[in-house]
Structure 1
Amino acid sequence: MEQQGVANRRLAVLVGCNYPNTRNELHGCVNDVLAMKETLLTRFGFKQEDMEVLTDEPESKLKPTGANIKAALRRMVEKAENGTGDVLFFHYSGHGTRIPSVKPAHPFKKTKLLELVNQLPKGTSFTMISDSCHSGGLIDKEKEQIGPFSSGDRAPAMETTTTTTTSRALPFKEVLDHLSSLTGILTSDIGTHLLELFGGDASLKFRLPTIDLMDLLEKMKSRERHVDSGILLSGCQADETSADVGGGGGKAYGAFSNAIQTVLKENGGALKNKELVMMAREVLEKLGFQQHPCLYCSDQNADATFLSQP
């Protein structure tokens, strides 16, 4: 809820990675985030100066490197203020991979955004759309509101012969082989490669404990925070891939991102988060895609309107 006399801010980080001129090139990811940018401006009250767009187009001033994405997210979180009802949005469109875990009970690690979400000031919301493979459950520990289908529940795929689709999955072995070629180190420990390549820019989970933990804790305590604000709309289940469509004469797009845009265009009023995901599922099913978007958030956020649209 907004404080009297204090307007809420709407902040966004939009990331689109097509990986041009590589063996894993995609075609629709930049189009996804540019379409979302226009939707945020015209429908949801976002302002140009409150959005950061990172793409790997040649003319892009801000490239979507890991360090740049983390810095952009950090800047967005730091702009949010206590009690103002600020709305934060992160759209990622690109490849996704699953990293094998050393724990037998958990065969794959998930990229955790919980640490970022927990840094939000009280009263703010954080919504993420991830149009990538294996994106289900990226905001760890958030409740599964719309979850995976069992194999028996899945509708049979329709034959689609008029469009070309590419999986947005990036095999872990391919990631590891590429990192090994860059570092010259033969190891399956991805953290070792990241430390060798990026040093201080590597994620904290891969770094030696050289940071001033007391200083970090003091900064985190400087604002009142809460831990139940993450909303994830994933393009597919954790065990599925997301489709990248086109790349020929027509305009390319991500299947899930396009489904979101379709639902928003066909429904002018405010939509609850769970309504938006279920409608996107219906769009994908009608078009013959075998991927099932999921929703992870609290019960309250499941019934909240997408991006707090009035």
Structure 2
Amino acid sequence: MEGGKKRLALLVGCNYPDTKYELHGCINDVVSMRDTLVGRFGFDPSHIELLTDQPGSSVMPTGENIKKALGEMVDKAGAGDVLYFHYSGHGTRFSSMRPGYLFGQDEAIVPCDFNLITDVDFRHLVNRLPKGASFTILSDSCHSGGLIDKEKEQIGPTSVHDPETAKSLPFRPKTIPFHSLLQHLSSLTNINTPDIATHLLALFGSDASLGFRLPLVGDIDFPDLLKPDDGILLSGCQANETSADMNPIMAGGKACGAFSNAVQTVLKENPENLSNREVVMKTREVLKDQGFNNQHPCLYCSDENAAAVFLGPPQSSTT
């Protein structure tokens, strides 16, 4: 690391074992990324935290535990530090009913206990970054485009056009449909309402996402959301798309997420420094070559960070 600056990482893999939502490659994804962070990017192994729902794990990747680990990582950061969060697991998308907001769509990751972590939570974390630190999020989950609320789109549905060619592949999408999520939560709360916030607040109280708690408007400084910052999101797909969980046959003997595997392929084939933009564009090419024509990774960040080196020193334009 340069100048003694810290490189901190939190890696989360959720396979949801013994449930109807079970995936197979998510833990493999983050274990492989841990090796890459140490071997290629110079992360100190003691500065990498791994949370998985593998049976016997001492700390499970619940919503509370993930948010606690993310918050502690941000609290440890100083100017010039590089923070990295890699998530592999289910994602979901739901209609926003937050106070003070127009109705829209929110994106979220789905921890092993279904305590959703939303785009608002990630925005709040980015807003807490000390000046000069960068926070890169790589989310290999469905509907992950836009997972940092109000972050500028660099590569996505409105900036890059890719003709979609339908092709059936034997993979499982990393998504839990909203109606299934609602049904699962309703079975736990015994409350008859289509309002997901009611269920999550009943189950998790103050540990529920900021997107569901009151008062929200006072928690975030809305004018600051429009300024360039050092949040960097590499998403496995667009907000309206799904990400694939590849079975061992497709993945050459080892289950993995299609996006995580494609990123690893790009890094192995390109030992030189790559910008965030280059990583996403090359990853799109790998997925297309593999036949994933309906999964388009995206990039959300400032103009400066689009051209900055992936997991390199921060390139902040914040004044």
TM bucket by the smaller chain? 0.7 to 0.9
Q: 1:128 aligns with which of 137, 151, 154?
A: 137
What is the CA–CA distance in structure 2 between the aligned matches of 1:199 and 1:156, rounded to whole Å?
Answer: 43
- Aligned residue for 1:167? 173
Q: Is 2:244 the counterpart of 1:240?
A: no
Describe the shift of the 1:97–1:269 C-alpha distance in structure 2 as closer, same or farther (beyond 3 A): same
Q: 1:272 aligns with which of 267, 271, 275?
A: 275
Calculate the aligned-residue CA RMSD, in Å.
2.7
What is the CA–CA distance in structure 2 between the aligned matches of 1:90 and 1:99, rounded to whole Å?
Answer: 23
Matches within 5 A, 1:52-67: 52-67=49-64
What is the CA–CA distance in structure 2 between the aligned matches of 1:64 and 1:13, rounded to whole Å?
Answer: 11
* Kept after mapping to 2: 8 A contact 1:18/1:29: yes
Matches within 5 A, 1:86-105: 86-102=81-97
Q: 2:260 aligns with which of 249, 257, 264?
A: 257
Task: State the TM-score, normalizing by the size of structure 1.
Answer: 0.86
Q: Deviations over 1:208-255 (max 9, x none)?
A: 56xxx8xx99xx9xxxxx960110000001111101100569210000
- Aligned residue for 1:118? 127
Q: Which amino acid aligns with 1:61?
A: S
What is the CA–CA distance in structure 1 between the aligned matches of 2:90 and 2:297, rounded to whole Å?
Answer: 16
- The Cα of 1:62 is off from its aligned counterpart by 1.6
What is the CA–CA distance in structure 1 between the aligned matches of 2:300 and 2:161, rounded to whole Å?
Answer: 22
Q: Is 2:147 the counterpart of 1:138?
A: yes
Describe the shift of the 1:150–1:144 C-alpha distance in structure 2 as closer, same or farther (beyond 3 A): closer
Identity %: 62
Q: Which amino acid aligns with 2:149?
A: D
Moved more, 37-46 or 138-147: 138-147
| Secondary structure, counterpart of 1:22 in structure 2 | coil
Describe the shift of the 1:150–1:208 C-alpha distance in structure 2 as closer, same or farther (beyond 3 A): closer
Task: State the TM-score, normalizing by the size of structure 2.
Answer: 0.84
What is the CA–CA distance in structure 1 between the aligned matches of 2:298 and 2:137, rounded to whole Å?
Answer: 12
| Secondary structure, counterpart of 2:199 in structure 1 | helix
Q: 2:195 aligns with which of 189, 195, 209?
A: 189
Unaligned ranges ≥5, structure 2: 108-117, 222-226, 315-319
Matches within 5 A, 1:3-18: 7-18=4-15
Describe the shift of the 1:236–1:28 C-alpha distance in structure 2 as closer, same or farther (beyond 3 A): same
Q: Deviations over 1:102-159 (max 9, x none)?
A: 4997442232211110100000000000100111111122111111279973253556
- The Cα of 1:309 is off from its aligned counterpart by 6.8
Aligned residues: 290
| Secondary structure, counterpart of 2:86 in structure 1 | strand
Unaligned ranges ≥5, structure 1: 221-225
